[in-house]
Every structure is written in structure tokens, then in C-alpha cells.
Amino acid sequence: MRRRVVVTGLGVVSSIGMGKDEFWKNLTAGKSGISDIELFDTSDYPVHKGGEVKNFDPSKFIPKNRIKDVARASQFAIAASRMALEDSGIDPESIKNRTGAIIGTTMADIQSLEQINKYWTADGEENIWPINVVKYPSNALSDHPGYFFGLVPMNYTISTACAAGNYSIGYSFDLIRRGKADVMIVGGADPFSRITFTGFNRLYAMAPEKCQPFDKNRKGMMLGEGAGILILEELELAIKRNAPIYAEVLGYGLSCDANHMTAPRFEGIVKVMERAIKNSNIKKEDVGYISAHGTGTPANDKVECDAIKAVFGDIAKNLSISSIKSMLGHTMGAASAIEAIACCLTIKNNVIPPTINYENPDLECDINCVPNDSVERKVNVVLNNSFAFGGNNACLVLERYGKR
């Protein structure tokens, strides 16, 4: 069975806006979501900024008597899921036996573990709050949307680090295409935490002030947080209920380098894009835009540019290739899901978001990175790149609905 799969709802929690409309407005305006971190004290760190979600009110999405039972990443996932469901206009009750939630993450509800450590080291084991033990496991990310929206059949968490959002979309695409589900809540969520912030600082991967993908003087990534949730739906069902269709999911590619825990590998990135193109039954010249992984680290950006040029050859000169991490920071497991939402809105609105903070061209990254300002351009097919620690790579292909 090869049913067609479309995107009918979008929900976003990000440092540049809540909901798809505010997110898209600020994204295309090139607004930076990088600010001083307020969630914890950074005075002992060399870096003090990141893409923190400010003024998030979970009570707008979760019953007040349940908020204490839900940690920050799950709060983001629930909020983005609710927005996506409302955007799609679908009643969860009508689909609860043919649906589920698949959420990607890197750190899940890591803040609950931090609370466990805090009270354990200060006052001993007996003073650990039991609720934090329940809130921490990563399965909570998919369990909570499943619980709050009555999606019983299939709830999974995928933890392939910073490619997890694309993995969750790809797996859900397969479930719908093969007739095992009709509608899926998919995407990714990750929170800021002291543990994550410490880890990336110790890897010396963090830029001090701003993220500058593809710039000659780029100094590293900025850490971010948030959630991106998409509603994937079988095409005939979407047509029957007159649902909004943002894009059609054509396919995806995966590769696992098994080469190095943190360093990107040229061959793996080439392979994942080639597999995505082949599995989606498109031609390379069909692609008009690539949402780059584009972290702003010297190694990642160079390898990604080299791989794009190797895959596309002379076609690469005509491609628009931008990194929205320049605005959001790297939201880890949420990154490729939020970027998939940006791809859907690019197709819908015929506008390509920019790579901001671009100041000095790098001859080793000689691509059209849509520097600093968004551009109006109609694109029918987009690639969404994501490359994770451990060499877990995923590339998603989206197309304007109606082209086939």
C-alpha cells in the first residue's frame, strides 16, 4: 500500500514566537531569538546567551492542576500539539483509533533529572520528589500528547539526537503510507538545561554572541529550545474534510555514519541526500530550496556545503540554502521538526527565510545561503537536512501539493 501523505497542521513553540503565524512573521523578518539566559545562572560559563523561550505560559495549553506533573519539554510538546491540531481543524476524538504521537528529542525532560540531583546532593535520597522520577523518562514526551488528546494506539519517542524530528516525521509517514494509521502527531521537543549547556560548552562548540552559519568567521552554534509539531494525514481523508494542506511528504532518506560521536562525515551526508531524492522519486533539478542543518560550527558547515555540491553539481549554484538556526539557535531534537515547519510555510507563502548574521563570505562555503534577508521565490520541492551526533543523518523531502 502506498497512500499519499500530506501536512495539514502546524504548531510551534520557539524563541521567536508561539504559533505558526508569529513564528513565520519573525522568521522571514530575520528576527533573532538569541538573548541572555534566564532559566539558570550562567556566570560560571564562558557563554551566556541562547535561544531561550521567554514568557511561556503552560496554563494556556494544560489544565492548571496538571502543570506540576509535566516537565518543560513535555509542556512544549503538548502546547505545539494543541496548536497543530487546532490548525488542522481535526477532532482528536474522531481519529483516536487510527492515530498516535511520535516525538523526537535529544535530552527529553532533562530538567527533572537536574531536580533529582539537586535534592539528592543537598538533603539525601529521602528528599527526592517522586514526581520528578516519573517526569524524567523520555517516553513522557509522546505519552503526554497521547494522554491529553486521547491518542491511544501508537505513542513513541525517538532519540536520534538532533535529527530526531526528521526521524519522527519519516516513521509516521511510513505508518500512514502503509495503512497502519490515518493521522499522526509528529515532531520534536527539547528544553534548555544546565546539563545540556554544560555539555556543549565542554565540547567548545558554542559561539559567544551569535550563530553565523556559512560565514568565514563563524565561531560555533548557539543552544536553543522549543518544539515543532506537524499533523500528518492521509490525503483522501484530508480532502474529504477539506483540510488545509501545506505540503505533501514525498519521502526521506537515512544514513548512519558510525564514524565519530560528534564530527560530521562527508560520505554520510552525501548518502542521506541521495537516498532522500531516490526514495521520493524526484529529480535533483526539481529541488528549489534546502533547509540546511547549518549549525554555524566550522566543520559542519564546510562538510554540508561540500556534500551539497557533490550531490547537485552545477545545480547547486541555483539552489537557495539557508539555516534558520542563525535565528533560533540549535533546538536539538526539535530542530529538524521546526525546520520542516519552516519548509512547509516556505512552500505555502513562496518566501525563503534568511541566514542572518552573515558578514564575511567563506570560499569553502560558496553557496547562496540567502544572506540576512528573506527572498520571494516559488519553490515546489524542498529538502530538510538534519545531521546528529553519532552520525545519525536524516533528510526529508516535501513538495507543493498538486504537483503530481
pLDDT band (50, 70, 90) for residue 127: low
Predicted pLDDT at 320:
98
* Residues 65, 196 within the same domain: yes
Calculate mean pLDDT across residues 54-59. Answer: 94
Q: Is 213 in the same domain as 340?
A: no
pLDDT at 243: 96
User: What is the Cα–Cα distance from 273 to 207, expressed in whole angstroms?
Assistant: 28
The pLDDT of residue 212 is 98
Active site residue 330: yes
Residue 139: CB atoms within 10 Å? 14
3-class DSSP state for residue 332? helix
Q: Is residue 245 part of a domain?
A: no
pLDDT, residue 110, reads 73
pTM: 0.94
300 pLDDT higher than 90? yes
The one-letter amino acid at 216? K
User: Is residue 246 included in any domain, yes or no?
Assistant: no
* Domain identity same for 256 and 389: yes
Which CATH number fits the domain that encloses residue 45?
3.40.47.10
SS3 assignment, position 364:
helix
Please check the confidence at residue 325 and state whether its pLDDT lies above 70.
yes
DSSP class of 353: P
pLDDT in tens, 259-287: 776 777 899 999 999 999 999 999 999 99
Quick one: pLDDT band at residue 335, thresholds 50, 70, 90?
very high
Task: Provide the 10 A C-beta neighbour count for residue 122.
Answer: 8
Region 131-155: mean pLDDT is 74
- Mean pLDDT, all residues of the chain: 91
What percent of the chain shows pLDDT beyond 90? 73
Instruction: Report residue 354 as a C-alpha cell.
Output: 534568511
Query: How many alpha carbons lie under 13 Å from residue 114 in its C-beta half-sphere?
Result: 17
- CA torsion, ordered 296, 299, 304, 309, to nearest 10 deg: 120
How would residue 389 be classed by pLDDT, with cut points 50, 70 and 90?
confident
Q: Check whether residue 211 and residue 276 sit in a common domain.
A: no
Residues 6+ apart with CB under 8 A from 92: 85, 99, 149, 150, 151
Distance CA 326, CA 258 (A): 28
Same domain for 311 and 223: no
DSSP assignment of 80-96: HHHHHHHHHT--HHHHT
Claim to verify: residue 170 and residue 300 sit in the same structural domain: no
With contact defined as beta carbons under 8 Å apart, do 364 and 302 qualify? yes
Report the 10 Å Cβ neighbour count for 206: 24
Q: Which of 144, 211, 305, 330 is catalytic?
A: 330
260 a catalytic residue: no
Of 126-140, 294-308, 319-333, minimum mean pLDDT range: 126-140
CA separation for the pair 246, 234 (Å, rounded)? 13
Q: Give mean pLDDT, residues 158-176.
A: 95
Is residue 136 scored above 70 in pLDDT?
A: no
Q: Which three-class secondary structure state does DSSP give residue 279?
A: helix
- Does pLDDT of 171 surpass 80? yes
Cell of 214: 556559512
In a domain, 73, yes or no: yes
pLDDT at position 130: 64
The answer as to whether 264 is a domain residue is: yes
Whether 162 is catalytic: yes
Q: Give the number of other CB atoms < 10 A from CB of residue 259.
A: 12
Q: How many domains does the chain have?
A: 2
Same domain, 372 and 303: yes
In a domain, 404, yes or no: no
Does residue 151 have a pLDDT over 90?
no
| Count of residues making up the chain | 404
| Start-to-end CA span in the chain (Å) | 18
Domain region containing 156:
5-240
pLDDT at 343 over 90: yes
Same domain, 235 and 109: yes
Domain match, 208 and 315 both: no
Q: Which of 144, 162, 344, 395 is catalytic?
A: 162
One of 144, 211, 293, 395 is an active-site residue; which one?
293
262 with 393, same domain?
Answer: yes
Q: For position 117, what pLDDT does the model report?
A: 64
* 137 & 272 share domain: no
- 55 and 113 share a domain? yes
Helix residue spans in 89-182 (DSSP H)? 92-95, 110-123, 130-135, 140-149, 164-177
